[in-house]
Chain A
Amino acid sequence: MTPNSNAMAESREQHPPEPGTRDRILIAGLGRTGLDYACAFALHPGAEVAGFVEERSDLRRFARTAGFTAPAEATLSRWLEKRPADTLVVCAPAAEAAEMVEKGVNAGLAVLVHGLSAMPREAVDRIEKAMTLCDRPVAAGSAVLFQATFARARRTGALSPLGLQHVRASASVSRVFSASAARGRDVVDFLLTDLLLLLDASFGPMTHVRAQGTRLYGDWLDECQLEAKFAIGLAAKVEVSWSVPGYPGAAMVIEGSGPEGRVIVSDDALEMDLSSLQGRVVAASEPSFARSEGGEAPAVVEGWLRALSGDVVSAEALSVTRALRVARVVDAVRHSIAADGSEREVMS
């Protein structure tokens, strides 16, 4: 499949943006994340929220209650019969997302999919197939790839696999104690997926995984430990848990060490004690990337609009190829857990 950044570059030649025009955004899926995207696009001068597609009438009604007056339809086909749009942002549940992407591609829209890496295999395969056929820009949105300190670590090469021999990564949050816990989710899709995206962005594709999962409070996975092998020969030990008290927001850490020294990246800070790089950068000191705050969407929205204008760094952070790779790692992790921790190859 053509890498996302290449698809964007090719598309710009076919559909050059006109100066002064705003990207007309059609948001499919009016759950929490879809509404986050609506807010972020509405507060961005480079875009306008053209409308919404949502099967559930209660969610369409809530968007109207919130005050969004853009037209909303129950189906994408019905919306597109009546109006034009430039970009389809798919925030729908996985069961509906694949069909949305297929229809969006067929309609000639640029497509941004949120949460692709956490989707089940069948949806991922359909979305990959549809996006392969797309000649407009395509992207996979994930806020974690715009997180300031991890982005700085990648930009400066602090996490360059050269010189690193040992890598450990962890993610913790307090969620399992909530009454809303396990509404069809577990720690793998809620937390592990984001950490795997960061690991892939730092060290490249993973080829094999060996994973164990723990169910502490019910039928769903609350903790997960895995060993991941990368194509470059590196291995990483990874731990995630959503049963750690005192963590209202997710905390992620990647720590690498080797003959060159040691580097620790977390959402708090980047600490480098390497022969080539020294110093500490705190997250708050990094310049703001987005033009608004709130929820998961603002940085992705800024990245999307910058990518459309030719910013290759933003396009890389929105890579569909990476999101698809990580979705397959997640699939391998689940198979390994089901097989009592035996090693599984990541399907390519």
Chain B
Amino acid sequence: MKRSPLEVPKLVLGIASLALPVRTTRDRQLEVSARFREPESLAVALVKGIAAGAEAVLAPPIADVRNALDELNKDLPVLARVPHLSPSDDLRYEPALMFDPADGEDASAWNANRAGAAAMNLLPVSLAGDLASKVLPRIEREAAVFTPGALRGIVISSAATDLALAADQAKFVDRLVRVAHSRRWLVGFETRNLGHLLSRLSRWGVAPDFLMGALNPRGVGMMPDAASVLAAIRESSVKVIATELRAGGMVALDEGAAWARRHGAWGVCPELVDMDDVPKELKGLAIRPAA
């Protein structure tokens, strides 16, 4: 079946807060986590969210999400947030992206992957590969958690994006854009350093389909500072989907979304923790045209 070219969505429902720490109160995160513990309740929220106007669900490739999607008899449009790193990766000394869970956790295991890793340790440092090659197998495997009919694209998680940003790796973005487009996926890059990344992309001369980063009236999470982020958005042609719209709970969702759109955001991505009534609040965001 031939697909039409994919449009960058203007309203995305984020559900990463089910598995990852987000900027909200502890009570709120626990409440949302409890509300969507059953796959059926999450599935209902996702279906209603899409019906209310969300054009895609930003989803980590975790069992809870997979189980919820399995409850449905139709595909929902998904942007897979990959590579998925667990909060408990901070128990390790090594950087989380250094390992692929497919290599196995058991240090005594001797499988093909481990044999390859051991052989790599004999190589000089100068023969290191690049970050895109390192994470691509993992990205492809995690994206495959979602059915091909559902998968609209991938959003590279901030752990990988911001590592490439700090290391000044234009090649990382360029390579992932090429790979994603060859599969007819949209490709976005989530970042916790939106101003830095927008500036860097201009210099690099590469353009992903979109970026996702904090944008809200209080400047919460806008790095290096709110003024720099707004200036970078004005000067860049890269589409930005705004996250952290509620500024950690300090502003109303509709106020945050309207502000982000007014200040150059192409789209908005409210998280589950931002909403009490998911379909109603998404509908409110969907019907408001960008200023």
Contacts and interface: CB of A to CB of B under 8 A. Distances in A.
Interface of A: 30-32, 35, 38-40, 42-43, 57-62, 64-69, 72, 93, 174-175, 177-181, 183, 185, 190, 246-249, 251, 266-269, 282-285, 288, 290-294
B92 A293 contact: no
A284 B88 contact: no
A42 B167 CA distance: 7
B75 interface: no
Contacts of A58: 98, 117, 120-121
16 contacts: A31-B92, A31-B94, A42-B168, A43-B224, A58-B117, A59-B95, A59-B98, A62-B94, A65-B128, A67-B164, A248-B19, A266-B26, A284-B250, A288-B222, A293-B221, A294-B158
A284 B23 contact: yes
Interface of B: 19-21, 23, 25-27, 29-30, 33-34, 86-98, 105, 117, 120-121, 123-131, 134, 158-159, 162-169, 171-172, 192-193, 196, 218-225, 247-250
Given A32-B92, A183-B92, A190-B91, A284 B168 contact: no
Contacts, number: 163
A80 to B, nearest CB: 18
Contacts of B158: 294
Contacts of B27: 268
B86 A178 contact: yes
B130 A67 contact: yes
Nearest to B163: A66
Contacts of B196: 43, 292
What 8 pairs across the A-B complex have the smallest Cβ distances?
A284-B248, A67-B167, A249-B21, A178-B88, A67-B169, A39-B166, A293-B192, A64-B128
A93 B97 CA distance: 19
A175 B86 CA distance: 10
A11 B121 CA distance: 42
Contacts of A180: 88-89, 91-92, 105
Nearest to B37: A246
Given A269-B25, A288-B220, A294-B162, 8 more contacts: A31-B95, A43-B166, A62-B95, A68-B167, A179-B105, A246-B33, A266-B26, A292-B196
A284 B166 contact: no
B20 A61 contact: no
A43 B165 contact: yes
Contacts of B26: 247, 251, 266-268
A60 B125 contact: yes
A57 B121 contact: yes
B91 A183 contact: yes
Contacts of B250: 282, 284-285
Contacts of A249: 21, 87
Contact of A32 (B21, B34, B94, B117): B94
B110 to A, nearest CB: 17
B224 A42 contact: no
A64 B123 CA distance: 13
